[in-house]
Structure 1
């Protein structure tokens, strides 16, 4: 697919962090970008392992794939040793990426790099190629990390959860009062402290980038975004959710026939609870079992993406729903029979649920997920927490879950009706942002103009 390069005005090299939650929004953004202008060639760089995963995925002709060697052994994944994986990404990817840039034709005019890959800014600066820092989490968690020194100054990092996890602080700019337990990597362990050190390295380099791209919608996080725009001298673009929402309107493939979609077609309106705890990190097996037995006892309809445990859980959950290893989440959330989303609150899933207008049951696990949960429940008021206890190791028992999901899925319950109404309102606000004249489309167009001016 080399031919597009001859007619392209700009050559952008995209370098995502090598994990699904980072690669997907980066690729979605590149697809959105080239759908708005034909003058861009994108070289999308992944490790050899990820090239094997995504090489066959459909993409436009002017997005080409290139690979660099794997930075860690194949048996070392984010899930089984996240810290070692992150350290390898930070220390071993810069040199092969730099070598690849040297070989690329035409020469790159801009690098789009995940904010955590701070070394990409150094590579771009050495080559006199501007770097757009691409942030795949919420602007609110960006503000928390950018102002992390305030938590240290107030002696709120690291934290003894058992003593003051429920304490609220109001000194993080752009963030409404938040429980200390909802801040990331705050448990005081060596692994959390080292992971935080690596995360903060990226923030030391952000000011040396050409611009920052937030994969958010301004109307969802106006206070945090306004604060960051005031504090940074470089341009900040809030480019929208960069989930595959645009493909729903443009794709009508009759060969796509999923058994779970056919099952959803047969269910009553808004009657199904969709459950997904994310791709890598998960709650304990004991907690999974409490969830499974609760679903069986509750009698509600459900669709549960359980990946490795699907076959075992099918035997526990009963016959009111389905347990599958994978699904097209955007299509599922947009289905009329879905009435709620039990989510780990990863940022991609959070945006997809918001756009679909589906209320949440939040069950965060790690990193930015507790703060996303807090925004869903307290700021936007479109969901309920599954777990109120600030003790991260406390089990939510079966009986609690049964009561919660039955109330949540009850159309006659006033509180449940209220969050459904607010969910639809928030979806409308978000939907307007991604249409012509909306905040996300306006910022995307501004970035494209900026991108074209980087040609030299």
Structure 2
């Protein structure tokens, strides 16, 4: 009807690696004149405000809303997994009330589309009830999504047991073009805490039916990176890498305050010389492992930029080994990662291989040294090292420690292997073409935007 325009309401999974890419997508949608409301749990919203140290005026094209966390007196608000238990209980009604309030107060801007992280696919029932189109958003690889939708078949075949573990000797392969999954390499694999792993297995298993209600599954990838996985899922619409669409405007999506002084330090370093080290927002070390990494970086004799969160050592204050000197490098608590990876001085990326970090490194043509912790990171490592051939694996010893000598040797190897850099630059070019006019991701996003206006 005349005077009415599309209105997208977006709900991310409550984690740094989920909020950032969905906000990047929402900025692109808003650029096309579509109203966007972005809904966070209250505690997540407060983290964003604290990190930005200002009101989010740079996002005036997007309306920010919050819903209660649903914490009870027994819940631990500092446990990042508590929200996974509380929000499914309290968010349905709170979100319904929010949409009802929006629709009542702005009849010409009623919510017409609800984009939700597929991990929270129970939200799609709310979309149906409120007359909005349900659309899924997936932050890991498309291959991980394909595996998730294969869970019922894998259970039926006996390849997975009821706890989500691979039976002995079983390897899951969906295609010859997709790296297989081995024991402890599944998206819900948390070897340090099997209970968390069980939650991460049960959530998608229960949500497959709800996720199927969505006609669109928007994915932070591009067809060229994962052609075989994309072909397995006709509803998957690769629209990334999203960091290429929103490279400089991410201040309001960080849980930690960025230290931009590292960019000025990088300006003083020769091209392709710096080892960038970052393990994302949740990875933690033992003190022994931190010591080995620090001394390995120093042994390499190369300049390094190392992101060391205050809680990196299992939540304890960081203490460096006495013999470690920082003369070769710079240490910050949090870095503007996409801008760092696009800096000409970066020579390699020591990464936990989360999908956001993976796509940011790939899109900037940076070779990887892989150090995965859990979940989909192991499979991303296999993409990096085996499929794309743009990185090397840092191996751990029989005690599960990656030694200073292993770290130093792999740094030496990656700087002497021109083939890895050549392959990385080819992927960078390929990803760059996907997001510009006429590219696969550009066409997919345009297709979605056009649909929103026609609906």
Normalised TM-score (structure 1): 0.86
SS in 2 for 1:365: coil
2:255 aligns to what? none
1:395 aligns to what? 401
Determine if the alignment matches structure 1 residue 51 to structure 2 residue 45: yes
SS in 2 for 1:66: strand
1:122 to 107, 118, 125: 125
Determine if the alignment matches structure 1 residue 371 to structure 2 residue 373: no
Alpha-carbon distance between aligned partners in 2 of 1:263 and 1:162, rounded to the nearest angstrom: 49
Alpha-carbon distance between aligned partners in 2 of 1:403 and 1:340, rounded to the nearest angstrom: 14
Alpha-carbon distance between aligned partners in 2 of 1:278 and 1:246, rounded to the nearest angstrom: 19
1:242 aligns to what? 242
Listed as ranges, the matches of 1:57-456 within 5 Å are 57-72=56-71, 76=76, 80=79, 82=81, 84-104=82-102, 105=106, 106-152=109-155, 153-157=157-161, 164=169, 168-171=171-174, 175-186=178-189, 189-229=194-234, 235-243=235-243, 245-248=245-248, 258-308=260-310, 312-313=319-320, 316-387=324-395, 394-409=400-415, 413=416, 416-454=417-455
Deviation at 1:185, TM superposition (A): 2.7
CA deviation digits over 1:201-226, x for unaligned, max 9?
22221111232111111100010111
| Contiguous gaps of at least 5 residues in structure 2 | 50-54, 252-257
CA deviation digits over 1:119-140, x for unaligned, max 9?
2101011122111111111101
Deviation at 1:151, TM superposition (A): 4.1
Alpha-carbon distance between aligned partners in 2 of 1:183 and 1:343, rounded to the nearest angstrom: 18
Deviation at 1:178, TM superposition (A): 3.8
Deviation at 1:427, TM superposition (A): 0.4
Q: 1:170 to 1:121 in 2, by over 3 A?
A: same
Deviation at 1:53, TM superposition (A): 3.2
CA deviation digits over 1:191-243, x for unaligned, max 9?
322331122222221111232111111100010111111xxxxx432111222
1:232 aligns to what? none
Q: Is the 8 A contact 1:216 1:238 kept in 2?
A: yes
| Contiguous gaps of at least 5 residues in structure 1 | 1-5, 230-234
State the superposition RMSD in angstroms. Answer: 2.9
Deviation at 1:16, TM superposition (A): 0.9
Normalised TM-score (structure 2): 0.86
Alpha-carbon distance between aligned partners in 2 of 1:402 and 1:7, rounded to the nearest angstrom: 63
Q: How many residues align?
A: 427
Deviation at 1:433, TM superposition (A): 0.3
